[in-house]
């Protein structure tokens, strides 16, 4: 005899963070960024974030259990577009030069975003006082990005056998001293023509150092 479906009152509640639709997430992260940018990390208040996001502190903590996770979520919101096309690049038949140029341009544009660079300044300023925040951001964004780029390089036999080192080198070729310049010079601008030229030169120099090999991935 088939088992009867459980009554609603008998079903076990699901655990984990409550679902968050895109509009609610954007509202919370925008409010969070505003409060951090206005007050810095240490003086930012979760009560003020909840008020501006039109939500409760309990809901906020259910979604992001700590202020550090809130800050990292704001940064990750800027970097996520660098990661979502991972499978597209891995499965693409485009030449590596094109894929590397696209990834490089997205990375460089990130550091020309005034809102992102202002948040990045806060992180650098607070790293000594809040080392767990810096470590969390490193794992969530920087290390993740390095691993995904290394995965692509491995798939194209570029820079082996230490693909993670090659990935770091490529990011250095793209960014160079631009991050320091953008942090110290709030008025720094990068035209689209200059950005494209910088990326094109970085791809050329990187592939001179690590030529594309023929054959199957290592």
Stretch 124-133: mean pLDDT: 90
Whether the per-residue pLDDT at 7 is higher than 70: the answer is: no
Q: How large a percentage of the chain has pLDDT more than 70?
A: 88
120 neighbors 181 (Cβ within 8 angstroms): no
Instruction: Indicate the pLDDT class of residue 146, thresholds 50, 70 and 90.
Output: very high
Phi, psi (degrees; rounded to nearest 5) at 116: -65, -45
Stretch 35-53: mean pLDDT: 94
Out of 65, 84, 117, a domain closes at: 65
Domain count, the chain: 2
| Least reliable range by pLDDT among 30-34, 44-48, 212-216 | 212-216
Round to whole Å and give the CA distance between 113 and 183: 11
Residue 215 counted as domain residue: no
Whether the per-residue pLDDT at 176 is higher than 70: the answer is: yes
Report the pLDDT value the prediction gives residue 9, as an integer from 0 to 100: 41
Residues 58 and 160 grouped into a single domain: no
Residues 145 and 51 grouped into a single domain: no
Residue 13 counted as domain residue: no
Instruction: Indicate the pLDDT class of residue 17, thresholds 50, 70 and 90.
Output: very low
Residue 11 counted as domain residue: no
Report the pLDDT value the prediction gives residue 200, as an integer from 0 to 100: 96
Which of helix, strand or coil describes residue 189?
Answer: coil
Residue with the two structure tokens 């910088």: 198
Report the pLDDT value the prediction gives residue 216, as an integer from 0 to 100: 53
Residues in the chain: 218
Running DSSP on this structure, what letter comes out for residue 116? H
Give the best-scoring range by mean pLDDT among 4-8, 81-85, 117-121, 202-206.
202-206
Report the pLDDT value the prediction gives residue 85, as an integer from 0 to 100: 82
Out of 65, 87, 119, a domain closes at: 65
Residue 15 half-sphere exposure toward CB, CA atoms < 13 A: 1
Residues 125 and 173 grouped into a single domain: yes
Residues 61 and 151 grouped into a single domain: no
Residue 95 counted as domain residue: yes
Round to whole Å and give the CA distance between 173 and 103: 12
CB atoms within 10 A of CB 33: 22
Q: What is the mean pLDDT of the chain?
A: 86
Residues 32 and 90 grouped into a single domain: no
Residues 58 and 104 grouped into a single domain: no
Residue 52 counted as domain residue: yes
Centroid of chain to Cα 155: 22
Residue 39 counted as domain residue: yes
Residue with the two structure tokens 């992001």: 64
Residue 182 counted as domain residue: yes
At 88, list the tokens: 């597209």
166 is in which domain, residue-wise?
76-209
Whether the per-residue pLDDT at 21 is higher than 60: the answer is: yes
Round to whole Å and give the CA distance between 33 and 55: 15
């Amino acid at each position: 005899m088939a088992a009867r479906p459980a009554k609603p009152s008998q079903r076990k509640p699901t655990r984990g963070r409550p679902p968050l639709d895109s509009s609610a997430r954007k509202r919370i992260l925008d409010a969070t960024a505003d409060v951090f940018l206005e007050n810095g990390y240490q003086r930012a208040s979760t009560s003020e974030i909840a008020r501006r996001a039109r939500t409760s502190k309990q809901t906020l903590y259910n979604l992001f259990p700590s202020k550090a996770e809130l800050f990292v979520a704001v940064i990750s919101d800027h970097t996520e577009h660098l990661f979502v096309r991972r499978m597209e690049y891995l499965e693409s038949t485009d030449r590596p030069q094109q894929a590397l140029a696209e990834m490089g341009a997205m990375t460089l544009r990130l550091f020309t975003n005034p809102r992102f660079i202002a948040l990045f300044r806060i992180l650098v300023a607070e790293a000594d006082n809040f080392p767990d925040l810096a470590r969390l951001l490193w794992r969530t964004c920087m290390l993740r990005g390095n691993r995904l780029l290394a995965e692509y390089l491995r798939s194209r036999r570029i820079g082996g056998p230490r693909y993670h080192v090659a990935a770091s080198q490529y990011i250095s070729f793209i960014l160079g001293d631009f991050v320091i310049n953008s942090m110290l010079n709030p008025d720094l601008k990068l035209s689209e023509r200059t950005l494209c030229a910088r990326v094109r030169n970085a791809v050329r120099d990187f592939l001179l150092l690590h030529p594309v090999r023929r054959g199957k991935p290592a």
